[in-house]
Amino acid sequence: RSAEFLARQRVYESNARSYPRRLPIAIEQAAGSLVRDVDGNVFIDFLTGAGVLSLGHNHPELVAAVTAQLGVLTHGLDFPTPVREAFVEAQLAMLPEPMRDRMKIHFCGPTGANAVDAALKLCKTATGRGDVISFQGGFHGSSHAAMALTGLVSQKRPIPNGVPGIHFFPYSYCARCPIGLTPASCATNCVNYLERALTDGNGGVPLPAAVVMEMIQGEGGIIPATTEFVRRVRTLTRELGIPLVVDEVQTGCGRTGTWFAFEEYGIEPDVIIASKALSGIGTPVALILYDAELDTWAPGAHTGTFRGNQLAFAAGVAAAHIVQRDDILGNVTRRGAQIAELLKPLLADPWVLEVRGRGLIWGIEFADPASGRPSGRLAAAVQLAALRGGLIVEVGGREDDVVRLMPPLNVDEATVETACSILLDAIRTAKA
């Protein structure tokens, strides 16, 4: 039956589909970490709606929260409502203490890309500057501006006349250093290069409105920035008066073991972009949190119809509560350590270039040992073999050569063990 659904989808929806091209199943129902397809096959889900379903599918308390809100108020534009206010308070309370009082919130929904666009507009308004710095291999969404900001070339559609004034700099991708350095010979040359470009009066880049970065490049292949890289970028942007925007659409809401990934780096950004897992159950919501000093928008300067999804707010209040009550961040850290341990055998595999991640966001990068070239072919074969074994994983990376794991944040120990064992089997099968 999956095959029939897929065939009909091809007729109705042309070639713009993405996930089912690689994961050829039609899904019908899901609970917790498990998904059932229309043929009754059950899979462990380590894709979780692209990181959206942070508490698993259909968490009963989130279902109850949404159900209770239905029939009360579903859509409220940007009028104040009790549930909106509760959501705002819950979000601000999740920030590190020193940031709580000085950050403001603006809803930009419904998707992450909308919030990325909003962050660009806000920083351009606040600084009066038009240029923006972004990083090679990053991903920020599919709207026109978010895609222009995206450095992940494989994801960029060939759109002529993209948003002008976006400058790309190397990200700290040490496994495949863009300028061929090794960690020993590096001395954070990527930041030195950025610093030089920003301060060079003779042909560097104009002082930008913002530097936008992911703490871990997600779609780009689960590449955590090095601590030194992030701290130097923070120091540099602060010295030069450039707002630092962190895109936490994928890494936010507990995915890395802290509420936001920037916390582990010991920095404070000026703007935070969040979306995916805010509601925990897939009811869409997107927002920016930003330093009050950037608050230069006149009333009505950035509007949008879908900025008041009360169902998302209700679920999000419950999700934030559950994260705290059930020590979900502790589970993320423990299960992350378990994944690191279970995947250790891969470090000796000549086809595995690197195993990277933290918390519950992991990537396994494959390369052909003969040529050293990225092996997208093997990553795709592993993904399919894992599906056949009963595990859904995603593929990403600059050459589609990284298998990505993003389990629900409340995944249990036994499920992680089963999933990793399916994955190791899938790698053996795919290599054979």
Residues within the interface to ligand PMP (CB under 6 A): 50, 111-113, 116, 139-141, 214, 218-219, 247, 249-250, 275
Smallest separation, CB 373 to ligand PMP (Å):
25
Nearer to ligand PMP, 111 or 410 (CB): 111
Nearer to ligand PMP, 32 or 218 (CB): 218
Q: How far apart are CA 306 and CA 286, in angstroms?
A: 10
Q: Are 301 and 75 in contact (CB under 8 A)?
A: no
CA-CA-CA-CA dihedral for 108, 69, 409, 321, to nearest 10: 100
Q: How far apart are CA 68 and CA 66, in angstroms?
A: 5
Q: Are 256 and 66 in contact (CB under 8 A)?
A: no
Nearer to ligand PMP, 69 or 114 (CB): 114
> If you compute the radius of gyration of the chain from its CA atoms, what whole number of angstroms results?
21
| Position of minimal CB gap to ligand PMP | 112
Smallest separation, CB 149 to ligand PMP (Å):
9
Nearer to ligand PMP, 218 or 408 (CB): 218
| Pairing mode of beta strands 271-274, 244-247 | parallel
Smallest separation, CB 91 to ligand PMP (Å):
17
Helices (H), 189-278: 189-199, 227-240
For residue 49, report the phi and psi dihedrals to the nearest 5 degrees. Answer: 60, 45
Residue 357 DSSP SS3? strand
Nearer to ligand PMP, 250 or 331 (CB): 250
Q: Are 114 and 149 in contact (CB under 8 A)?
A: no
Query: The tokens 């072919």 sit on which residue?
Result: 377
Smallest separation, CB 112 to ligand PMP (Å):
2
The pair of structure tokens assigned to 170 is 């190397």
Nearer to ligand PMP, 269 or 389 (CB): 269
Q: Are 137 and 216 in contact (CB under 8 A)?
A: no
Q: Are 66 and 314 in contact (CB under 8 A)?
A: yes
Smallest separation, CB 115 to ligand PMP (Å):
8
Q: Are 333 and 359 in contact (CB under 8 A)?
A: yes
Nearer to ligand PMP, 219 or 399 (CB): 219
Smallest separation, CB 217 to ligand PMP (Å):
8
In 205-269, the DSSP E strands lie at: 210-213, 216-217, 223-224, 244-247
Using the 8-state DSSP alphabet, how is residue 267 labeled?
Answer: -
Nearer to ligand PMP, 127 or 134 (CB): 134
Smallest separation, CB 216 to ligand PMP (Å):
9
Nearer to ligand PMP, 219 or 270 (CB): 219
Smallest separation, CB 108 to ligand PMP (Å):
10
DSSP structure string for 365-419: EEB-TTT--B-HHHHHHHHHHHHHHTEE-EEESTTS-EEEE---TT--HHHHHHH
Smallest separation, CB 140 to ligand PMP (Å):
5
